[in-house]
Amino acid sequence: MSAHGSFVSRSSANLEARKPDEELPLQRSSQGLSGKLATSMNLVTIMVGAGILALPRVYATVGIPLGVALTVLGCSLSVYLCDSLSEAIGAVQARSGCRMRTLEDVGAACYGEVGRRITRFVINFTFIGKASVYFVLIGQNLA
């Protein structure tokens, strides 16, 4: 028997030896099985990838020294804003005595139902803006 023939018979024997309820990974339906964390990390990874694709154009446009300065400024601003947001959430939690699960909860604790609605609007507007910028970046890099 040829090597190819023995490979086929071993492969089909392995498939037959599987339990009936055991499926191959590509055949299994994974729709709806990702959690919020996995989905969020996937979106962040995709958007960071699009941002990385745009960095060479920024550096080519403004030059390396200014490009590095803008990158450091952007990173510093991001760290500062995340730290400020963390402190604000901690202060609201300490004042209200309840755990803030979402930014909408923070808006409601500070400004009532109007604050919740404004916070919800701002968050959704930001996400729509991010998605729009992402599509523009991908369109420019693929064109």
Q: For 13-67, how does the pLDDT look when each residue is reduced to its tens digit (9 = 90+)? A: 555 555 555 554 444 555 556 677 777 777 777 777 767 777 888 899 999 999 9
Of the two residues 67 and 140, the one the predictor is more confident about is 67
What's the chain's average pLDDT? 77
Amino acid at 137: L
pLDDT of residue 122: 94
C-alpha 105, offset from chain centre: 22
In contact, 104 and 119? CB cutoff 8 Å: yes
Q: At what angle do helices 103-142 and 36-62 cross, to 10 degrees?
A: 50
Distances (CA, A) of 112 to 19, 93, 118: 56, 15, 10
Residue 26, exposed/middle/buried by CB under 10 A (0-12, 13-18, 19+)?
Answer: exposed
pTM exceeds cut of 0.85: no
pLDDT of residue 35: 72
